[in-house]
Amino acid sequence: MRKLLLGTTALAAAATLSTNAALADVAISGSMEFTYESRSSNVTSTDGTQFGSDSDMVINFTNKTDSGLDLTYRVDFHTDGGAFANDETSLAIAGGFGKIVLGYDDHAADAYTIDESDLIGEDAAPAVGSMSISTSSSAPADNDAIKVSYHLPAMGGLTAGIGHSDGGYVGGSDTTSMGAQYAMEAAGASITLGMTSTTTENSTQDIDQENMGLKIVSGDISLILSSGQYESNDEERDNSGASISYNMPNGMTVGAYTFKSEDDLDAGEEYTRSGVEVKYPIASGLTAFINVDDYEYKLGTDADSDGAGSSDSGTQSKLTIQAAF
């Protein structure tokens, strides 16, 4: 009798688990990029050709509670180079109050940033021999540290969010990130204005990053103007960028972009970049990109210790084959 009771209990528990699991929808997506890059550089270590790859897999579990809350458990795996690393793991809870995101994910500001790279599919800037210069007007750079974020429900054309990353015990650096976008229609065009701000605590001087961007879409033409600032110990960078793209009738997209960063505290340090991109859909889920970048980096005459390296200029041409699943 006892064995029968235990068996019945186990079957009931399994049935309950099966029923609960059936309530969750599971979506798996992935992408793989293979690149061939040819670079003409004044620095020997970055002159020549090379292959590259970037792959990613995302699993989303979604569910709706009896009270009407939408739950999303998201796991993002970086699967490149034979490695299988967990990049992001987060839980999103959404309802009439907005959305709360808990776990390892991007800064809240990332959802509201508008910069020159948003119209470009393959926007990775040519690397230079210094880490003390910006290569985009985005703010901030992606940081997948554990954090909590809150996004307000849309109010007309206004969306906004704020997030906090706790650096841990004494000696850690907390980060507060916030952003907003306002979208409207004018003269037959869609116009979106975005603003973001991020502050990370630092022992000498806090790291402050800001971004402002304007996006205009009129028919098949899109335009972005953006600016950004970065301030920290011995760093005061002013960034500006612009891009334009055109969707052709055959499905091809052509784009052009430009960017400039100057550090006011490191006299003469400057990075400029301009380029063009052609995006061609080969087939459903398979796309080719051709990018040509012309860049110049000036180390400056008063660079700090972060500016170790040398001045560089050159041209980078890249072919990318991208598959999405």
Name the average pLDDT for the chain: 87
Q: What DSSP character marks residue 126?
A: P
| Residue type present at position 48 | G
88, 272 Cβ separation under 8 angstroms: no
Distances (CA, A) of 318 to 5, 254, 276: 67, 15, 11
List, for residues 7-61, the tens digit of each pLDDT value: 444 444 444 444 444 468 999 999 999 999 999 998 888 899 999 999 999 999 9
The reported pTM is 0.85
User: Residue 5: which H helix or E strand, with range?
Assistant: helix 2-22
Cα separations in angstroms, 298 against 183, 234, 262, 272: 38, 17, 10, 9
Task: Name which of 198, 192, 252 is nearest 223 in CA terms.
Answer: 192
Tell me the per-residue pLDDT of 197-254, one tens digit each, with 9 for 90 and over: 999 988 888 999 999 999 999 999 999 999 999 998 888 999 999 999 999 999 999 9
| H or E, element range at 262 | strand 253-263
- The two tokens of residue 272 are 């400029």
> Which domains occur in the chain, in start order?
27-324 (2.40.160.10)
| pLDDT bracket for residue 98 (50, 70, 90) | very high
